[in-house]
Chain A
Amino acid sequence: MPKPQIKKLRVGWFSFTCCEDSTIVFTELLNENWEAWKKLIDFRHARILQTKNVLDEMDVAFVEGAISSPEQAEKLKKIRSLSTMLVAIGACAVIGLPSSQRNDFDEKTKEEIEFILTRFNHLDRVQPLKELVKVDVEIPGCPMDEKKFLATVDLALKKFKII
């Protein structure tokens, strides 16, 4: 008899423009939760954890950071199209700040940074995720609120009938 395939939650973890503090909080939450999550979660895409990443269908995509370039916007839309549930994690993903602070610079400061924006093809404005795609759950905080994150993981595990 072949061993029955255990269903795991298919998760993607993505970072755009930010300081990646929520990723670090996630690696700290692993301290208490790694044994459970190793059994329950299939990390399809998580640059922080592994080299072999696959961008395919996901139950949940956790997305950190604000959107700074057309390429990032396209990637975010692709992630949205492949995920059933998209969770914005941390302040930059939820409200744009502090990564979007340049949106509010005065004209003189904007002129000072203009050549960088042009050279690296930045968007005119840095945007939070919800301005570009539908966001199902928001976990605010700088870094993200740990309790709300754990509750969201629990909710997803139940919603996708993993537990």
Chain B
Amino acid sequence: MHQVDLSLTEITKVEGSASLDIKVDNGKVEKCQFSIKEFKRFYTQAMRGKAYASLPQLLARICGTCSNAHLMCSIESCENALGIEPTPQSQILKELTMSGLMIRDHALHLYLFSLPDIYKLDAFLKFDESDPEQHQLLHDAFDIKAAGNYLATIVAGRSVHAIYPTIGGFIKVPNAAESAEAIKKMKAVRPAVLRLIKIFEKCDFKLDVQALPTALVSDPFGFLHGVIKGGKNNVIKKEDYPNHLDHVVLPYSQASAYKHQGEAFMVGALPRINLSKQSLHKQTQKDAASALKLFPSKNIYHNNLAQAIEILHCIDSSIEILKNTKFKKEPLVKPTRKSGTGIGVVEAPRGTLYHKVEIGEDGKVIKGEIVVPTGQNQISIELDLRKKLEELIPGDATKEDIAFEMEKLIRAYDPCMSCAAHFLKVNWL
């Protein structure tokens, strides 16, 4: 198609509200703008003056689906600011909280958002129960999500805006019966996860990401510790991360976008598996061996496969932890200083999440800063949409085909618009 004027005002099967405007004139892409349409809720301003103890619960409200990642990141930033060293048990409970989140959040994205693209159906709930394969997938999806939800619930209290984790520790811990039940549920869904990996391994969708991969890298594979690797072979300490980000204003989008030393970069499951596949749980490496051979990969649709592999890793590592750990109630670790500045960096489901907080002598937040994954991916998403569009124009793709391919590509990035539009970027003086 040589002339296209397309405005997708409501991208579907994604978290939050986004739109895409395309203009092709005489076979040339004149416009390709991916805009985040969520209205800002100004958390960066709202956090000022609040008691620090209330901060993690407030900032969890930035996002529904990755709320527990914001909670972990905000707790880490406050603990870091106040000189609190979490106990080994708290570290384990934080890991389990992240695993519960990854299992249910990735499963939501893979089954309800992405799988309909492979099966050429409009909605996952329209899968045919009389078709044995589709029937199995319907059951697999909700069983895996339920297992992740259960893990999050016994460890953190609930899977959205969790209530047990707090600054200095966890106010409740799982008992032996709950741990046993979680192990049982996760073992039961393991074959379903292997089926899911197989589907995304066989999927032939392809488009090479142009941006450079970036992720928090640790051994063993995890979401809370390590150093940030990214860009052109940079190794960055957590606390230095924002110094490597350039804020870019896209006037049509309600979210902040970023470049890394002048270059577009990508965060998320694909960079994580690309940079640390050798650190995955041994059982995961064994059972996902054939899929893991495809990494490192530049193909954006392998972000889906990487998420499926991460579900398996989270199940395998959580089973091992729960089998070998007897939890006991611990008192919360007290602050060793009254004020300070702290950093939290975690790998949220969609990529690297950064929180910074400055706490004053009166125990109130002076100011803070938050950088979310989707803001970091926004430029990469646009670059790849433009590339895909340029591939499609010379062919016989209809306007509907183009709309479908554009949405499919956006979904592969698994963007979260709620996160991206939570705040107003302020200059940190």
Residues in A neighbouring B129, C-beta threshold 8 A? 38
Interface presence of A83 (CB below 8 A):
no
Query: Cβ of B123 and Cβ of A20 under 8 Å apart?
Result: no
Query: Cβ of B13 and Cβ of A19 under 8 Å apart?
Result: no
- CB within 8 Å of B: which A23-38 residues: 23-25, 27-28, 30-32, 34, 38
* Interface of B (DSSP majority class): loop
Q: Which residue of A lies closest to B40 (CB)?
A: A116
Query: Cβ of A31 and Cβ of B142 under 8 Å apart?
Result: yes
Query: Cβ of B17 and Cβ of A49 under 8 Å apart?
Result: no
Interface presence of A125 (CB below 8 A):
no
Query: Cβ of A142 and Cβ of B45 under 8 Å apart?
Result: no
A112 to B39: give the CA distance in the assembly, Å. 16
Query: Cβ of B40 and Cβ of A51 under 8 Å apart?
Result: no
Given A28-B104, A112-B45, A142 and B17 contact (CB-CB distance below 8 Å): no
Interface centre among B41, B46, B67, B254 (most CB of A within 10 A): B41
Query: Cβ of A17 and Cβ of B39 under 8 Å apart?
Result: yes
Q: Which residue of B lies closest to A123 (CB)?
A: B39
Candidates A17, A38, A47, A68; contact of B125 at CB < 8 Å: A38
A19 to B421: give the CA distance in the assembly, Å. 10
Q: Which residue of B lies closest to A30 (CB)?
A: B142
Q: Which residue of B lies closest to A105 (CB)?
A: B45
A68 to B17: give the CA distance in the assembly, Å. 13
Given A34-B142, A102-B41, A43 and B125 contact (CB-CB distance below 8 Å): yes
Interface centre among A49, A51, A69, A105 (most CB of B within 10 A): A51
A8 to B161: give the CA distance in the assembly, Å. 32
Query: Cβ of B64 and Cβ of A98 under 8 Å apart?
Result: no
Query: Cβ of B122 and Cβ of A51 under 8 Å apart?
Result: yes
A-contact bits for B14-41, CB 8 A (1 contact / 0 none): 0111000000000000000000001111
> Chain B nearest CB: distance from A121 CB in Å?
10
Given A49-B124, A98-B46, A102-B41, A24 and B65 contact (CB-CB distance below 8 Å): yes
Q: Which residue of A lies closest to B39 (CB)?
A: A68
Query: Cβ of A19 and Cβ of B142 under 8 Å apart?
Result: no
Given A21-B67, A38-B125, A102 and B42 contact (CB-CB distance below 8 Å): yes
> Chain B nearest CB: distance from A125 CB in Å?
13
A122 to B15: give the CA distance in the assembly, Å. 21
> Chain A nearest CB: distance from B107 CB in Å?
10
Candidates A22, A31, A43, A102; contact of B145 at CB < 8 Å: A31
Q: How large is the interface on B (under 10, 10 to 19, 20 to 34, 35 or more residues)?
A: 35 or more
Query: Cβ of B160 and Cβ of A15 under 8 Å apart?
Result: no
Residues in B neighbouring A23, C-beta threshold 8 A? 64
Candidates A21, A51, A68, A98; contact of B407 at CB < 8 Å: A51
- CB within 8 Å of A: which B385-425 residues: 407, 418, 422, 424
Interface presence of A48 (CB below 8 A):
yes
> Chain A nearest CB: distance from B9 CB in Å?
11
Query: Cβ of A102 and Cβ of B46 under 8 Å apart?
Result: yes
Residues in A neighbouring B38, C-beta threshold 8 A? 17
Query: Cβ of B45 and Cβ of A49 under 8 Å apart?
Result: no
Interface presence of B194 (CB below 8 A):
no
> Chain A nearest CB: distance from B38 CB in Å?
7
Interface presence of A50 (CB below 8 A):
yes
A116 to B99: give the CA distance in the assembly, Å. 36
Residues in B neighbouring A119, C-beta threshold 8 A? 251
Interface presence of B12 (CB below 8 A):
yes
- CB within 8 Å of B: which A102-155 residues: 102, 105, 109, 112-113, 116, 119-120, 122, 142-143
Query: Cβ of B160 and Cβ of A143 under 8 Å apart?
Result: yes
> Chain A nearest CB: distance from B21 CB in Å?
15
Query: Cβ of B45 and Cβ of A109 under 8 Å apart?
Result: yes
A68 to B42: give the CA distance in the assembly, Å. 12
A116 to B423: give the CA distance in the assembly, Å. 11
Candidates B41, B42, B161; contact of A142 at CB < 8 Å: B161
Query: Cβ of B254 and Cβ of A120 under 8 Å apart?
Result: yes
Interface presence of A101 (CB below 8 A):
yes
Query: Cβ of A47 and Cβ of B12 under 8 Å apart?
Result: yes
Interface presence of A52 (CB below 8 A):
yes
Interface presence of B277 (CB below 8 A):
no
A31 to B141: give the CA distance in the assembly, Å. 8
Query: Cβ of A116 and Cβ of B424 under 8 Å apart?
Result: yes
Candidates B46, B58, B64; contact of A22 at CB < 8 Å: B64
Query: Cβ of B46 and Cβ of A101 under 8 Å apart?
Result: yes
Interface presence of B333 (CB below 8 A):
no
Interface presence of B112 (CB below 8 A):
yes
> Chain B nearest CB: distance from A40 CB in Å?
12
14 pairs of residues in contact across A and B, judged by CB atoms under 8 Å: A19-B61, A28-B149, A28-B159, A30-B142, A34-B142, A43-B123, A50-B116, A50-B126, A52-B122, A69-B39, A98-B41, A105-B45, A119-B251, A143-B161
16 more CB-based (< 8 A) A-B contacts, given A21-B65, A24-B65, A47-B10: A20-B15, A20-B418, A21-B61, A21-B161, A22-B64, A24-B108, A27-B145, A31-B145, A38-B125, A49-B123, A51-B122, A52-B122, A53-B12, A109-B48, A112-B424, A112-B426
